[in-house]
Structure 1
Amino acid sequence: MRSTLLAALIALAPVSAMAATCGGNFNSFKNGLISEAPKHRVSAETAKRFLAGVRQDAAVLRSDRSQGVFQRPFVDFSRRLISNDRISRGVSNGKKYSRVFDRVESRYGVSRSVLLAFWAFETDYGNIQGNFNTANALVTLAHDCRRPHLFRPQVFAAMELFARGELDPAKTTGAWAGEIGMVQMLPRDIIENGTDGDGDGRVSLKTSAPDALMSGGKMLKSLGWKKGQPWIDEVIVPANFDWSLTGLETTKSGSQWSKLGVKARDGRISNLRASLILPQGRKGPAFLAYPNFNVFFEWNQSFTYVLTAAYFATRLSGAKVYNVGNPEQGLSGSQMKRLQTALKKRGYNVGNIDGILGSGTRKAVQKEQIRLKVPADAWPTPALLSKLEGASR
């Protein structure tokens, strides 16, 4: 399920001249990796043995370029991923591994429902871990010139695992982007956060749920998770609200949001600083997102995926089904690409023209709504698209 690299790795990966090397003859590229390996605490001989049978995998590249599922709006996407069966199995697994989750919460402060949500979405509780050859996937993506600075360090980390006898380049499999195990961790994450949860002296993320859960909990803590703090609350927002205050860029304390008329749908709003997010505009669901919500982005960069995972974790904690409301009609994938093109022409940085309503596109939409003096809820509609395309003619 996981289709983007950890944002933490994106932030930490150094873009050196060597790290940017990509493309060209594949065998020559592998020779370059062998030459560079000693700089990463891996001997040239180990690198040579690791790469001996590695080949390019065209299916990996197709998967990297085919992420249409993220074009779905939040309501559709969340309904697709969250079912009564998945909730039921989450509750069951929570009980089955209760002692493990108790240890995770005690040691790392991560709520079991949050870890269960990732476990569910990444591999359906370990049932679907991916059958891509990990070594082939990582080297293919490092060779590809889209994001070599992200994947090249992971190749050397995989070599390090190989040297330790913890990864077999001929047999280890996982997701198309090189993640391994029940909670889908990249090689560098495994080195830094891999934890023996079942006490057998090994870290087996593919076959041991305790190992995977303890490792995932440690990684979430390392990414900034704060013990005992919420991540999102569903809220009710007054109809006359200043919608330009919504979005992840604006934060206010819970008391400040309350003074503006924002109310928790159930229970109380935390007084932590939070952002008011509207995944489908002012007429759809509304949530306050607290600092722990940002940690979800360190695991995956897709706003829709992250919000769905965060919401699913609240459901596993006993929250109600969110209020769908009556969202205005959104844009199709092709319309979204047209919108991104129009916004780019107006000077906005919306990233790739991919038909996905990401953070850059949301920010640009909100700024244009403010300029046009329409409700600035960052939700693009056909009417907004028509105005922007008409203005560019």
Structure 2
Amino acid sequence: MRILPVLVAVLSFGLATTAQGQSCGGNFGAFVEGLKSEAASRGHDRTLIENFFANVRQEQSVLNADRRQGIFQRPFLDFSRALISQNRMNAGRNNANRYSSIFATAQQTYGVQPGILLAFWAFETDFGAVQGDFNTVNALVTLAHDCRRPELFRPQIFSAIEMYRRGMLDPARTRGAWAGEIGMVQKLPSDIISHAVDGDGDGRIDLQNSVPDSILSAASMLRAKGWRANEPWMHEVALPGGLDLTQTGLRTELTVSQWQQLGVRPTHGSLPSGNMRASVILPQGHRGPAFMVFPNFSTLFEWNQSFIYITTAAYFATRLMGAPVYQAGNPEQGLNQDQMRQLQQKLAQRGFDVGGIDGILGSNTRAAVQDIQAQLGLPADGWPTPQLLRML
């Protein structure tokens, strides 16, 4: 099952203007001419620019894919079970053995453990098998022209031009995900330019066909984004009865020792050093699984900004490193997409920042839910229920 990365949704109404002064939207041809002018102002050769944009076109299929990401509305247990199949577990372990020397190099050089790299490799492209069939240049220009997130995609066009100049991208033939990511680990052009590595020593970087290039480039990017070498990212825990749930969630950090003093215990193995900072997250409320997460967990949001995706990838990585299946518990019923939108609207009307009325339970909505639960005397675990919606 191919899960395309979700990118942060910043809703725009009407025309948005970039830092360079050109608006998104409007006539597509005029928009492309504006991109050409900006590329020239950045010092690119005019012939190179014309060749890069020679066959560019707007693709409705890209816009359709951007607006069709319903799986991210599923609760954690459903989402994780959909993504973490036995086949993926087996493939992950087989690839860990097959490319053990590459993963060892990634850990020695960048401090990124095999589980994390395997998890993203699995979720992004099923270990390279499904890399996407969207023309990369068309995808980036289409999304930059669209007024939902131009500030995200417009800069990627100029990184793609630089890739073309270096011989790393063919505007007519390079294909990947609908959001412009390329290769086995699905990276945007700016990250490729900044962090890609020639892992196999052949003198070129090929993220579509070379496993060493892909794995070491992913590790290089994570380290550059703040990954702490060889530190953990997540550990499943059990909560004591009577824990103040307002302390759970990514907004609160205590040391591991402080959490232990509050009665939080690992469900298996042992927790890291008592001085390490950590949060406790409850992706499906206090009756579902609980995880202690460490600074490296936050770094993963540099890869993808979906809370549900990152939590699932982090958990899958622990499984690939030997952790047992989570204790699923018995979570309370959640909300469907329409109910979630209603909840977000009601919270926004009360002044809470929910990060957009999109029907997705992201980090901002979770924090707002936790605050309103505390005000209403409900268990403040950030998990919205029909009861909460009725009370609002």
Short-chain TM bin: over 0.9
Please name the residue that 1:335 is paired with: 339
Q: Share of identical aligned residues, percent?
A: 56
> Which deviations, in whole Å up to 9, do the C-alpha atoms of 1:300-359 show, x marking residues without a partner?
001010000000000000000000001011111111111111111111121221110011
In structure 2, distance between residues paired with 1:106 and 1:322 = 29
Contact 1:5 1:299 in 2 (8 A): no
Task: Return the match for 1:265 from 264, 267, 273.
Answer: 267
Q: Which stretch of structure 1 is more off in the superposition, 32-41 or 316-325?
A: 32-41
In structure 1, distance between residues paired with 2:4 and 2:68 = 13
Please name the residue that 1:387 is paired with: 391
Please name the residue that 1:108 is paired with: 110
Name the SS of the counterpart of 2:66 in structure 1.
Answer: helix
Q: 1:6 Cα deviation (Å)?
A: 8.2
Please name the residue that 2:166 is paired with: 164
Give 1:345-364 correspondences, 5 Å limit: 345-364=349-368
Pairing 1:69–2:71 present = yes
Pairing 1:123–2:125 present = yes
Pairing 1:287–2:291 present = yes
Give structure 2 stretches of 5+ with no counterpart.
10-16
Contact 1:230 1:290 in 2 (8 A): yes
Task: Return the match for 1:205 from 204, 207, 219.
Answer: 207
Name the SS of the counterpart of 2:187 in structure 1.
Answer: coil
Give structure 1 stretches of 5+ with no counterpart.
8-14, 389-393
Pairing 1:177–2:179 present = yes
Please name the residue that 1:391 is paired with: none
In structure 1, distance between residues paired with 2:8 and 2:370 = 26
Please name the residue that 1:29 is paired with: 31
CA distance change for structure 1 residues 29 and 291 in 2, over 3 Å: closer, same or farther? Answer: same
Name the SS of the counterpart of 1:195 in structure 2.
Answer: coil
For this pair of structures, how many residues does the alignment match? 381
Please name the residue that 2:322 is paired with: 318
Pairing 1:368–2:376 present = no
Contact 1:369 1:375 in 2 (8 A): yes
In structure 1, distance between residues paired with 2:291 and 2:21 = 39
Please name the residue that 2:19 is paired with: 17
Name the SS of the counterpart of 1:233 in structure 2.
Answer: strand
Contact 2:22 2:34 in 1 (8 A): no
Contact 2:280 2:291 in 1 (8 A): yes
Q: 1:194 Cα deviation (Å)?
A: 1.2
Name the SS of the counterpart of 1:89 in structure 2.
Answer: helix
CA distance change for structure 1 residues 324 and 19 in 2, over 3 Å: closer, same or farther? Answer: farther
In structure 1, distance between residues paired with 2:8 and 2:353 = 21
RMSD, aligned α-carbons: 1.3
In structure 2, distance between residues paired with 1:105 and 1:244 = 36
Contact 1:6 1:297 in 2 (8 A): no
Give 1:178-193 correspondences, 5 Å limit: 178-193=180-195
Q: 1:43 Cα deviation (Å)?
A: 2.5
Contact 1:247 1:277 in 2 (8 A): yes
Contact 1:117 1:312 in 2 (8 A): yes
What letter is aligned with 1:87? M
What letter is aligned with 1:289? V
What letter is aligned with 1:277? I
Name the SS of the counterpart of 2:292 in structure 1.
Answer: strand
CA distance change for structure 1 residues 109 and 178 in 2, over 3 Å: closer, same or farther? Answer: same
In structure 2, distance between residues paired with 1:354 and 1:128 = 27
> Which deviations, in whole Å up to 9, do the C-alpha atoms of 1:60-108 show, x marking residues without a partner?
0111111111000000000000011101110100111111111111111
Contact 1:235 1:264 in 2 (8 A): yes
In structure 1, distance between residues paired with 2:382 and 2:120 = 27
Give the TM-score taking structure 1 as reference length: 0.95
What letter is aligned with 2:300? F
In structure 1, distance between residues paired with 2:319 and 2:309 = 15
Please name the residue that 2:14 is paired with: none
Please name the residue that 1:132 is paired with: 134
> Which deviations, in whole Å up to 9, do the C-alpha atoms of 1:223-263 show, x marking residues without a partner?
11111210001000012110000010000000000000000
Contact 2:107 2:230 in 1 (8 A): no
Contact 1:247 1:275 in 2 (8 A): yes
Task: Return the match for 2:156 from 154, 162, 166.
Answer: 154
What letter is aligned with 2:65? S
What letter is aligned with 1:48? E
Name the SS of the counterpart of 1:274 in structure 2.
Answer: strand
CA distance change for structure 1 residues 362 and 6 in 2, over 3 Å: closer, same or farther? Answer: closer
> Which deviations, in whole Å up to 9, do the C-alpha atoms of 1:267-316 show, x marking residues without a partner?
22222100010001110000001000011111000101000000000000
Please name the residue that 1:54 is paired with: 56
Structure 1 stretches of at least 4 aligned residues deviating more than 4 Å after TM superposition: none
Q: 1:20 Cα deviation (Å)?
A: 6.0
Give 1:222-233 correspondences, 5 Å limit: 222-233=224-235
Q: Which stretch of structure 1 is more off in the superposition, 311-320 or 36-45?
A: 36-45
What letter is aligned with 1:253? T
What letter is aligned with 2:162? E
Give the TM-score taking structure 2 as reference length: 0.95
Q: Which stretch of structure 1 is more off in the superposition, 38-47 or 55-64?
A: 38-47
